[in-house]
Amino acid sequence: MQLGLVGLGRMGGNMAERIRKAGHEVVGYDPHAEASNVSSLAELVKSLAAPRTVWIMVPAGDPTRDTVRQLADLLEPGDMVIDGGNSRFTDDQANAALLAQHSLRYLDCGVSGGVWGREVGYGLMVGGSKEDVEHALPIFDALRPEGPREEGWVHAGPVGAGHYSKMVHNGIEYGLMQAYAEGYELLAAAELVEDVPGVIKAWSRGTVVRSWLLDLLVRALDEDPGLAELDAYVDDSGEGRWTVEEAIEHRVPMPVISAALFARFTSRQDQSPAMKAVAALRQQFGGHAVRHGGAESATLSRPS
């Protein structure tokens, strides 16, 4: 099968290699990548035989929406667009409606696997019509992990269902990562435990908390046992926020994922105004000691 792929960054470039390795032809376009096979979207479309399939792997939001709008004017009736980025599911209905005006087909595909996907495969969650999904199945089979299809790929539902599923997946990921991180911090704080990286590694087999995320934490600690080379700053790409918003909309209690999201916000504050207020209140009502100044020059005081 022939595929046009827009966006050859860390994910897109690796996906192109995996698809080619499976025997398919990939024509890649990225204005910022030397690996680009063509110099424009128009040239990409001209290089593909009808009916064309173009997979988008660019940042969510305006970059994706702009690319969809450009493709709507360049492609021909019957061609297909697949958004494999981290778009919000509400964008999918708008993208599908715009393309439908030009008799173009649309699928949304949540993709998980990160930089490791090129070798081990990508978990795929697809939204769209059954007919359109069947048309793109050879590409999905090239990208997914080896083994039973249903263990690494799903047709989740109509347009939007793929990105909705990936959104929830990433919300769960927030909670799992936060739990591992808190466990690591407690182990590091306990003088009784002398080999914290060893304990984490010992959980890798036979325990109920073993997972690929745990394996990645083991790898990180092997490379930097105290994680001294990292700043305690954690960004969020949107899916965690959207998951919590959907939980509120559907009245689904989600305390773990919500807490994990807010923990990321806390990581971005050098001096949390909220925690300063808590310290001030504790000092006022209970005479508890407070710290003044930076961490290295902190002094303790009590109210007079």
* Residues taking part in catalysis: 166, 173
The three-class DSSP label of residue 29 is strand
DSSP E strands, 140-243: 153-157
User: Is there a cis peptide before residue 51, judged by omega within 30 degrees of 0?
Assistant: yes
Q: Is 196 helix (H, G, I), strand (E, B) or coil?
A: helix
Q: Judge contact between 28 and 16, C-beta under 8 A.
A: yes
Output the DSSP codes for 133-168. HHHHHHHHHHHSPSS-GGGTEEEEESTTHHHHHHHH
Please name the helix (run of DSSP H) or strand (run of DSSP E) that holds residue 208, with its range, or none: none
> Tokens 């407690």 belong to which residue?
186
Write down how long the chain is: 304
Joined tokens for residue 188: 């590091």
What's the one-letter identity of residue 37? N
CA 87/CA 8 separation, integer angstroms: 17
Cβ(24)–Cβ(139) below 8 Å: yes
Distance of alpha carbon 246 from alpha carbon 240, whole angstroms: 10
CA 28, CA 93: separation in Å to the nearest integer?
26
